[in-house]
Amino acid sequence: MRLIVATANAGKLRELRQMLEPLGFEVLGLADLADRPELREEGDSFLDNARSKAWPLVQSLGEPVLADDSGLVVDALGGAPGVRSARYAGPRATDADNNRKLLMELEGVPAKRRTAAFVCALVLAVPGLGEVAAEGRVEGRILERPRGGGGFGYDPLFLVEGLGRTAAELDPKTKNRVSHRGRAFRLLLPVLRDLGRGVL
């Protein structure tokens, strides 16, 4: 069965594909779709944004869609960058741009106050059946300089609580096990298994 993943982020798509393909899904991202509606992220929460990506695609394509909206929440910045994580340094910001801005905003903030969390909202929307949503969260701390060559986004700056490694220092299997996205995915796993078997 085909499952559309409503993201243009190659890193997110790669991680979700690693989790979905063992369930038997053919996974397509937004870049694989020749004709699709414009998707807007204007919500005040990760869940609102995930829904706003899922349902226009379901209505346009008539197929199940899994939508992800996720980001970094930094306590010392009042929850920023939050839902604006991907465009923190501007609408065309790169990961490097966003990381530079984050470090600049946290300049002089001591380690004990650099607590943060990655948050992921997933919405599985199925034509005629409705939706199932889940949220995952992983706690950590923002370092003063990047570490690790894996991952994407803020991963090189995010020291995962209890592991002593940044998200960019984790192998894919470990990252999928402990990450916000992996935690949200596991909450949806029973429904995804049923969908893959065609019993929904």
Annotated catalytic residues are: 69
Would you say 70 and 12 are in contact if contact means Cβ atoms under 8 Å apart?
Answer: yes
Q: Nearest to residue 82, comparing CAs of 109, 51, 117, 110?
A: 117
120: which strand partners? Answer: 70, 136
- Cβ atoms of 157 and 144 within 8 Å: the answer is no
Distance CA 193, CA 190 (A): 5
Residue 113: C-alpha distances to residues 42, 118, 141 (Å):
29, 16, 8
Give the dihedral sign, CA 48/11/19/58.
Answer: positive
Helices 10-20, 180-197: axis angle to 10 degrees equals 50
Q: Helices marked H in the chain — which ranges? A: 10-20, 46-61, 95-105, 172-178, 180-197
